[in-house]
Amino acid sequence: MLSGEAFLIGDWVSADDISPASLFSDEPEAIKASCLKYIMPGADIEGRVIIAGQNFGWGSYRESAALCLKYMGVKAVIARSFGLGMYRNLIGLGIPALIGDIPAKNGDIVEIDMENRVVRCCGREHRVEISDIAMEILMKGGLLNVP
């Protein structure tokens, strides 16, 4: 069971909004510092569950957008839909990327039951979607841990 406070992000947040290409770096601290810098400067997302809208992470397939979320300690991302590259990169890095519509507010406690594909928030249960293959990769900790 994963749990954390909800951090809401709206619709159509691009990979470049998450990790601006102009600030690209190979250094973990620089990647962390770039995270959401232009759209939500100083956002505290460590240990939180991102609740996003439509097409989260659309655009670039650069892994740095998902990597900055990992370095920032994001526990999971739940979105109504994902950009394909972001979805693939989150799963590959071992960060749960779940498809669903969770009616949360910033700071609400979100509990994720990965095995049953259920999210509990505000006293209600919500079904989320994730493919069996993506789930298998996540259960092994990401692509680097898959034999």
pLDDT at 144 over 90: no
DSSP letters along the chain, please? -EEEEEEE--S--BHHHHS-GGG--SSHHHHHHHTTTTTSTT---TT-EEEE-TTBTBS---THHHHHHHHTT--EEEES-B-HHHHHHHHHTT--EEE------TT-EEEEETTTTEEEETTEEEE-B--HHHHHHHHTTSGGG--
65-118, pLDDT tens digit by residue? 999 999 999 999 999 999 999 999 999 999 999 999 999 999 999 999 999 999
The reported pTM is 0.95
Domain boundaries, position 19? 2-145
- Worst-scoring range by mean pLDDT, 3-7, 47-51, 59-63, 70-74? 59-63
pLDDT at 147 over 70: no
pLDDT at 20 over 60: yes
**Total of domains in the chain:** 1
Tell me the CATH number at 105.
Answer: 3.20.19.10
